[in-house]
């Protein structure tokens, strides 16, 4: 029988001040401006939480994110201090910037759908005519979205984010520079593993001294798309879709079933076979990025996890 995975945690931790439940993470706000973040096995698409968990997904994302955050500390301060257990991260709290900085190297996903509808201006970026889906841009572009606490995020330009007071001009310049440097680093790391980093998102926070800090996860299959590098050009020349390793296949399955998160649309049923397929794809990307097989158990004892966290925090 397939594991149900971690759907929700309701820990009582020493020094805990508050708890917030996001789409896929349970966040515990602690004393001394610290966070305990549990990456659950919930999965979302089109800003909607799907009805079933993907066992082991939280641990996969958490471990990839920890490795990737460690790899960019020379570019920008990161929130993560340590990851003491599968799916759990402890780090510094800060005020989130209400913006997702999306960096796109290729015309895929939302950008491709907008382009196919005839749009040539995306988040203030002018796109040329004649682009093919899955084709690279001449240089990576930045297409931010608002960070909605509920409902759908909305496209916005950097300039409009400044006008709306989400960023000041200095932050806008800094985040643009940092995001492109992070994307370049992610591109290099992906290339070393035979992958192409297609697009990704970064989230930032403000520290008490006014500095910027990289928060959330980076370069995971939930926040990024990857192509297989080995046959990308061959498949494009044949008019075939590149082989992709990311959560996009979940979105494509939902679209094929008539669901894009819009009002009145019915969420398709998730069979055991579909859950196992998604689980396998996540484990595959973990192996491709890290070079190691994913070995953590998908059956996690929440009571034992809570007790271990209490011991960790009391040290």
Q: What is the DSSP string of 96-153?
A: EEEEEEEEEEES-HHHHHHHHTT--EETTEEPPTTPPTTPEEEEEEE--EE--SSS--
User: Hey, how many other C-beta atoms are within 10 angstroms of the C-beta on 66?
Assistant: 16
CA atoms within 13 A on the CB side of 139: 5
315 residues of the chain, pLDDT tens digit each:
567 789 999 999 999 999 999 999 999 999 999 999 999 999 999 889 999 999 999 999 999 999 999 999 999 999 999 999 989 999 999 999 999 999 999 999 899 999 999 999 999 999 999 999 999 999 999 999 997 655 567 999 999 999 999 999 999 999 999 999 999 999 999 999 999 999 999 999 999 998 999 999 999 988 999 999 999 999 999 999 999 888 878 988 999 999 999 999 999 999 999 999 999 888 888 898 888 888 766 677 899 999 999 999 998
Per-residue CA distances from 16 to 11, 32, 311 (Å): 9, 10, 14
In the chain the domains, ranked by start, together with CATH numbers, are: 16-94+273-314 (3.30.200.20), 95-246 (3.30.470.20)
CA angle 23-262-248, nearest 5°? 60
Collapsing DSSP to helix, strand or coil, 211 comes out as coil
Collapsing DSSP to helix, strand or coil, 164 comes out as coil
Q: Please tell me the pTM assigned to this model.
A: 0.89
Per-residue CA distances from 31 to 11, 15, 16, 93, 216 (Å): 15, 5, 6, 10, 19
């Amino acid at each position: 029988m397939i594991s149900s995975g971690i759907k929700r945690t309701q820990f009582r931790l020493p020094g805990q001040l508050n708890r917030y439940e996001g789409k896929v993470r349970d966040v515990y706000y602690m004393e001394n401006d610290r966070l305990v973040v549990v990456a659950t096995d919930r999965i979302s698409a089109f800003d909607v939480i799907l009805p079933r968990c993907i066992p082991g997904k939280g641990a996969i994302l958490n471990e990839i994110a920890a490795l990737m955050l460690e790899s960019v500390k020379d570019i920008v301060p990161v929130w993560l201090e340590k990851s003491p257990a599968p799916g759990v991260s402890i780090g510094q709290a800060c005020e989130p910037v209400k913006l997702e900085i999306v960096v796109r190297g290729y015309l895929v996903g939302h950008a491709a759908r907008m382009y196919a509808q005839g749009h040539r201006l995306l988040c203030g970026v002018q796109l040329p005519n004649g682009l093919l889906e899955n084709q690279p841009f001449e240089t990576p572009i930045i297409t931010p979205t608002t960070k909605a606490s509920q409902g759908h995020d909305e496209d916005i330009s950097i300039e409009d984010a400044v006008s709306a007071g989400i960023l000041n001009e200095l932050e806008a310049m800094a985040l643009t520079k940092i995001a492109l440097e992070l994307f370049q680093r992610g591109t290099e790391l992906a290339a070393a593993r035979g992958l192409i980093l297609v697009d990704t998102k970064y989230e930032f926070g403000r520290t008490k001294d006014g500095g910027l800090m990289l928060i959330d996860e980076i370069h995971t299959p939930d926040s990024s798309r990857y192509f297989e590098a080995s046959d990308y050009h061959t498949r494009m020349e044949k008019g075939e879709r590149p082989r992709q390793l990311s959560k996009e296949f979940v979105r494509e399955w939902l679209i094929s079933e008539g669901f894009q998160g819009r009002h009145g649309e019915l969420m398709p049923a998730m069979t055991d076979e579909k859950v196992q397929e998604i689980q396998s794809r996540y484990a595959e990307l973990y192996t491709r990025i890290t070079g190691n097989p994913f070995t953590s158990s998908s059956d996690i004892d929440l009571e034992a996890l809570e007790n271990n966290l209490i011991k960790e925090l009391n040290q």
